Amino acid sequence: MARLQVRRLGYALGAEVTGLDLRQPQDEDTIAAIRDAWMEHLVLVLPGQDISPEQHVAFSRHFGALDPNDATPYYRHPQHPEVLVVSNKPVNGKPSETRNTGRNWHSDLSYTGRPAMGSLLLCKERPDVGGDTMFANMYMAYETLSPRMRQFLDGLEAVHDVTLVKGIEQRSPELVAEIKRINPPIAHPVVRTHPETGRSALFVSQRVRHFVGLSDEESEPILRFLTRHAVRDEFVYRHRWTVNDLVMWDNRATMHVALADFDQSKPRHMLRCSIQGEPLGYIYRGEGATTAQPEATHRTVVASVS
């Protein structure tokens, strides 16, 4: 077993884990220790991991089946569809489709029937200053609400909508149409019970359209309050990237945002694996017309990357 050192990075969440070399195979005891630290701190930073896509995939698979990125059918690694390339570097002379990925608060793949259980993002290039990512503890967001508000939210469902992904309209019209086709609006519980810790977490974000049974106008002030509440300073950890940082987070108990706090002419190049979550929610077709537990049909589209 590797001799791990775990150091807290933030009050609400976040810890650095050192003593690992992910170029080497990891034994079961080491993976179990990492998982324990992950469940405690929600966001783990593993610095100095100069790993290949194959090694990235192999490590990520220790924590579950990987999502093939069919819900986001663009800019996957040509040899490894499990790896999403999140980059502002031009592709074939054109702007990258993922240059503005993650610009509003969200939990990965919440607009699908299997929201990501976890994500592992590897930094390969970064600007001199900025390009940070912020994470919020959604256990704390729920637990610090008043008892009456928690009672109101328990049992409520929210409609997650891919069209609320910030910057989606900057992609090509054909790609946007395809993304909308394979990702219809989907309703999820507003409060999730974490399957491993048993704790309740708020499951809303800036990608929620409205609550089931409430109009957009009725929902909007409540959603605005909840998302503002969830990102209070005391609930948030801000990560300042270093090249070869591998950061892994639990999407079931966090949300995050990629900040545009840098010179966009400077490269920011990341590789992400997402761990597939359990089926959740149902396709929302309006009041009184729903389909339980969707199994979306995804068309595979792989873009070439450099």
Nearest to residue 175, comparing CAs of 263, 73, 244?
A: 73
Identified catalytic residue from 106, 207, 209, 252: 106
- Residue 26: alpha-carbon gap to chain centroid: 24
Active site residue 106: yes
Phi, psi (rounded to 5 degrees) for 236? -120, 145
**Which helix (H) or strand (E) segment is 202 a member of?**
strand 200-202
Apex CA 199: angle with CA 296 and CA 31, to 5°? 75
Q: In what order do the strands lie in the sheet with 15-18?
A: 5-8, 15-18, 43-46, 246-250, 118-125, 269-275, 83-87
Active site residue 256: yes
Q: In DSSP terms, which residues pair with 139 in a beta bridge?
A: none
Identified catalytic residue from 99, 126, 256, 268: 256
Residue 12 tokens read as 């609400």
Nearest to residue 241, comparing CAs of 88, 166, 137, 134?
A: 134
Q: How far is CA 18 from CA 22, 48, 191, in A?
A: 11, 9, 33
Active site residue 61: no
Identified catalytic residue from 108, 161, 245, 250: 108
Catalytic positions are: 106, 108, 256, 272
